[in-house]
C-alpha cells in the first residue's frame, strides 16, 4: 500500500440554501469542512446518525452534488469542479452503490442491459464481447449468469443489491462509494452482501468509502472509520482505535447505544438526551456540546480542531477527549463511566470558572439528564 492517497478530501463543504420566495433565509450546513484521505485498497467507514451529512458527502465524492467549497482530489487530479467531459474518464474509476436496490435499477431494463450500461456509455468493448463480460460480472457477485435476460422485479432485495454491485464493478473502478448498501435488506441477507463486498474488496484491491449508520456492520468491513456529527468529522482512526479506544464522547455514546446481542438485559450505557440539533443553526463552538456530559464553557466558544493523537492515526475533535484530565462537574463524573470501563480521570482542579458564558447553564442541564443505567 502506497502512502499516496487515492482520494484526498480537504475542507469539503456543502451548504444548501433555504429559500422563502426569492430570499435566501438560511443555510443548511449539511457538510461543513471535512478532511480525510483514502489510500488505494483501503476501506473507510463514514458513520453517523441521520442528518450528519454522510450521504451528502458520498454524493459529492462521486460528483452527483457540487461541493460548496473545499477540494476533492482523486488519483492526483483535482475533481472538485470538474465538468461533465472531464468527469467521464473519472467515472470509470469511481463508482457508487446505492442504498435502495428497488429504486436504483430501471425496472424496464433487463439485468444484462443494466450491468452493460456503464460499458456502453463509456464506449468500452471488452475482449469477448459485452455479454460475456456481463455474465462474468454476474457470476462474480454470485448471481446466475443465465439470468441475463431477467428483469429486476424477478429478483429479491439481496439479489438486486448484487446487480447494483455488478454494475459498479463493470468498469473496474479503483474506488467505490457504497451508501448504506445493506440497510434495506433482511438481516440474514445483509451478511451475504457484506461478505460479498469483503471478498471483492480483497480480491480486486478496491478502495471503499462505506457509508452506514450501523457501526457493527462497519466494524466488519472497514479498516478506518470516520465518525460524523452535524456535518463534521468528530473522530477518525483505525478500526481498533475507534471501537476499543474511542476518545470522543459522541463516539462512545454511539457505541454504547447499540444493543448488542451478546449482552442480555438493560446494558450499562450512556444516555444521550435530546435530538441532533438542526444543521440550519448548529450550536456555537463544539456542535456536540448541547448533548455532551463533559461540556464546559470553552466548548461553547471555541470549536475543537480535529487533532491527531497517539502518533497521528487517530484524530479527535474534542476539548476533553478520553484519557486526558478533565474537570468534571459531579453529574459529568457520574455519567462518564462507560461499558469500556475507563472512567475519565477527574482532576482535583475546580471546573474552569469562566466568565459567565450564557450557555454554561444549558450544558449542566443536559448533563443532569444523562444517567448511567447499570444492569
Partner 1 sequence: MDSSEPLPSGEPDDHPTVPTQRGNEDAYLRVRDLRVRFDTSDGVVRAVDGVSFAVERGRTLGIVGESGSGKSVTSLAILGLHDPRRTTITGEISVGGRQVIGLAEDEVRRLRGRDMAMIFQDPLSALHPYYTVGRQIAEAYRVHHPKVNRRAARQRAIDMLNRVGIPQPARRFDQYPHEFSGGMRQRAMIAMSLVNDPALLIADEPTTALDVTVQAQILDLLADLQAEFHSAIILITHDLGVVGQVADDVLVMYGGRAVEQGSVEQVLRAPQHPYTWGLLSSVPSLHGDADADLLPIPGNPPSLINLPSGCAFHPRCRYADRAGSRSRSEVPELRPAGADGHLVACHLSAEERATFYAEDVARVGVAR
Q: Are 318 and 236 in contact (CB under 8 A)?
A: no
- Measure the CA–CA gap between 175 and 335, rounded to whole angstroms: 41
- Measure the CA–CA gap between 283 and 27, rounded to whole angstroms: 14
Nearest to 54 by CA among 321, 234, 245, 237: 234
Backbone angles phi, psi at 121, to 5 degrees: -60, -40
Q: In what order do the strands lie in the sheet with 23-38?
A: 23-38, 7-20, 69-74, 77-78
To partner 1, the closest distance from the beta carbon of 16 in angstroms equals: 18
Per CB under 8 A, residues contacting partner 1 are 49-50, 156, 158-159, 186-192, 194-195, 198, 213-217, 219-220, 239, 243, 253-255, 257-267, 269, 271-273, 275-276, 373
* Residue 148, Cβ density class (10 Å: 0-12 exposed, 13-18 middle, ≥19 buried): middle
* Residue ranges with strand state E in 67-216: 69-74, 77-78, 94-97, 175-179, 207-212
To partner 1, the closest distance from the beta carbon of 142 in angstroms equals: 10
B/e letters for 331-342, b = 16+ CB within 10 Å, e = fewer, are: bbbbbbebbeee
* Residue 305, Cβ density class (10 Å: 0-12 exposed, 13-18 middle, ≥19 buried): exposed
User: Nearer Cβ to partner 1, position 63 or 291?
Assistant: 291
What is the β-pairing status of strands 175-179 and 314-316?
unpaired
Could you please report the per-residue DSSP string of 316-365? E--SS-TTS-B---HHHHHHT--TT--PPPBPSSPP---S--TTHHHHHH
User: Nearer Cβ to partner 1, position 275 or 302?
Assistant: 275
- Beta partners for 20? 23
Amino acid at each position: 500500500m502506497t502512502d499516496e492517497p487515492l482520494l484526498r478530501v480537504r475542507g469539503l463543504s456543502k451548504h444548501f440554501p433555504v429559500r422563502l420566495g426569492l430570499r435566501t433565509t438560511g443555510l443548511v450546513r449539511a457538510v461543513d469542512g471535512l478532511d480525510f484521505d483514502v489510500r488505494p485498497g483501503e476501506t473507510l467507514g463514514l458513520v453517523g446518525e441521520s442528518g450528519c451529512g454522510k450521504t451528502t458527502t458520498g454524493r459529492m465524492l462521486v460528483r452527483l452534488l457540487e461541493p460548496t467549497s473545499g477540494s476533492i482530489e482523486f488519483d492526483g487530479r483535482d475533481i472538485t469542479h470538474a465538468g461533465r467531459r472531464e468527469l467521464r474518464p473519472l467515472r470509470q474509476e469511481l463508482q457508487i452503490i446505492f442504498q435502495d436496490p428497488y429504486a436504483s435499477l430501471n425496472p424496464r431494463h433487463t439485468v444484462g442491459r443494466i450491468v452493460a450500461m456503464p460499458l456502453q456509455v463509456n464506449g468500452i468493448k471488452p475482449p469477448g464481447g459485452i455479454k460475456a463480460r456481463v455474465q462474468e460480472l454476474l457470476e462474480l457477485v454470485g448471481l446466475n449468469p443465465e439470468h441475463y435476460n431477467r428483469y429486476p422485479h424477478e429478483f429479491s432485495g439481496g439479489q438486486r443489491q448484487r446487480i447494483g454491485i455488478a454494475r459498479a464493478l463493470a468498469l473496474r473502478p479503483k474506488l467505490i462509494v457504497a451508501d448504506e448498501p445493506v440497510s434495506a435488506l433482511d438481516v440474514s441477507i445483509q451478511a451475504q452482501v457484506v461478505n460479498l463486498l469483503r471478498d471483492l474488496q480483497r480480491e480486486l484491491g478496491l478502495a471503499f468509502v462505506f457509508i452506514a449508520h450501523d457501526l457493527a456492520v462497519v466494524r466488519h468491513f472497514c479498516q478506518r472509520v470516520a465518525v460524523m456529527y452535524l456535518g463534521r468529522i468528530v473522530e477518525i482512526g483505525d478500526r481498533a482505535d475507534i471501537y476499543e479506544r474511542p476518545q470522543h464522547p459522541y463516539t462512545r455514546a454511539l457505541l454504547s447505544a447499540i444493543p448488542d446481542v451478546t449482552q442480555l438485559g438493560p446494558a450499562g450505557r450512556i444516555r444521550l438526551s435530546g435530538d441532533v440539533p438542526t444543521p440550519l443553526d448548529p450550536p456555537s463552538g463544539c456542535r456536540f456540546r448541547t448533548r455532551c456530559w463533559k461540556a464546559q464553557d470553552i466548548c461553547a466558544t471555541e470549536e475543537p480542531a480535529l487533532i491527531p493523537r497517539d502518533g497521528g492515526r487517530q484524530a479527535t475533535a474534542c476539548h476533553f477527549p478520553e484519557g486526558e484530565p478533565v474537570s468534571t462537574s459531579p453529574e459529568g463524573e457520574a455519567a462518564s463511566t462507560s461499558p469500556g470501563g475507563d472512567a475519565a480521570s477527574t482532576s482535583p482542579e475546580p471546573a474552569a470558572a469562566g466568565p459567565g458564558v450564557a450557555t454554561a447553564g444549558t450544558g449542566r442541564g443536559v448533563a443532569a439528564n444523562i444517567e448511567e443505567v447499570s444492569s
